[in-house]
Chains A and B, each alone.
Chain A
Amino acid sequence: MSKKITIEPVTRVEGHGKVTIHMDNNGNVYQTRLHIVEFRGFERFVQGRPYWEAPVLVQRLCGICPVSHHLAAAKALDVIVGAGTGEGLTPTGEKMRRLMHYGQFFQSHALHFFHLSSPDFLLVSTATPPSET
């Protein structure tokens, strides 16, 4: 009997996902698939909005890494307003963005270590019923 194992939801990422593992009659895995089950349509609905809204709108793509999306939109705005691809930024502007990026980096790693990974590694016996995951 071929068998399918479904892991849903995948909880250690944003971007609601599901993993299906497909096995043949002998129980060997022949395919593993990652499904991104969420579609929100940012690509279309940011169009037509005031351009200065973009950094704040795209923050909502991901509550785990909002600053990264904010900075990406800010870079796009640089081009739109004629500040080029970096050379038009003031030194202070560039430093601020670097600081924000490092802050995001630091926050993301702390979050991943303290809230996402460590409890799974350290508390797995109490946090997860044996029948699951």
Chain B
Amino acid sequence: MSKPVIATTSLAGCFGCHMSILDIDERILQLFDLVEFNKSPIDDIKKFTKPVDIGIIEGGCCNSENVEVLKDFRKNCKILISLGECAIMGGLPALRNGIPVEECLHEAYIGGPTVQLNTKHILPNDDELPMLLDKVYPCHEIVKIDYYLPGCPPRADLIWDALVALITGDPLKLPYELIKFD
């Protein structure tokens, strides 16, 4: 039997969830025995090269590129997991949802106390940049998500146990101590 294939990505996240994946420490060697990685920052494969069994999404959607990547993951992955608060509910970036996006851009690039060099008051507006969305959206509002692993970040043991359960088909036991939100 061929190994299950895993892909991961970070959308509007901070890579903290990916760091938590790496926090499984030496079990990462076991993980590489159990699965094969496809598109992921972990191996730097940038495009899907084969159908994927488990897609792991970190971060919600704050721009058009996030949405495209997420839809691409849904198309190529049998199972999608929202990993961490940002993917599950927008997380910290969703704090901007009550604020007009223009105000956020203005503060960051024009009006903020640490802005010094932008004398022409230019906002980022390059063709290469994705369009910002009006709000930060959790992944399940864009595509169907199969599983949710909470935490900011989710504990490494939680990620490990969940992946092993998914791969082996064993029931997942989640003790209370593993479900932490900070």
Residue ranges of A at the interface with B (Cβ–Cβ < 8 Å): 7-9, 11-12, 14, 16, 18, 20, 33, 35, 37-41, 43-47, 49, 56-57, 60-64, 66, 111, 115, 119-120, 127-129, 132-133
Contact A9 B41 (CB under 8 A): yes
Contact A37 B96 (CB under 8 A): no
Contact B107 A43 (CB under 8 A): yes
- A107 vs chain B, min Cβ distance (A): 9
List, in ascending order, chain A residues with CB within 8 A of B132's CB. 39
Shortest beta-carbon contacts, A-B, top 3: A63-B16, A41-B104, A11-B41
- A33 vs chain B, min Cβ distance (A): 7
- A40 vs chain B, min Cβ distance (A): 4
Nearest chain-B residue to A69 (Cβ)?
A: B14
CB-defined A-B contacts under 8 Å, sample of 21: A12-B41, A14-B14, A18-B128, A20-B128, A37-B129, A38-B12, A38-B63, A39-B62, A39-B63, A44-B96, A44-B99, A45-B96, A60-B16, A64-B14, A66-B14, A120-B44, A127-B45, A129-B45, A132-B44, A132-B46, A133-B44
A133 to B95, CA, bound (A): 35
Q: Is B67 an interface residue (CB 8 A)?
A: no
A64 to B17, CA, bound (A): 10
Give the interface size bracket for B toward A: 35 or more
- B44 vs chain A, min Cβ distance (A): 5
- A78 vs chain B, min Cβ distance (A): 17
Contact B15 A62 (CB under 8 A): yes
A39 to B61, CA, bound (A): 11
- A24 vs chain B, min Cβ distance (A): 18
List, in ascending order, chain B residues with CB within 8 A of A63's CB. 13-20, 153
Contact A57 B107 (CB under 8 A): no
- B126 vs chain A, min Cβ distance (A): 7
Which of B32-78 touch A at CB < 8 Å?
41-47, 49, 62-63, 65
A57 to B96, CA, bound (A): 13
Contact B93 A128 (CB under 8 A): no
A129 to B38, CA, bound (A): 10
Q: Is B124 an interface residue (CB 8 A)?
A: yes
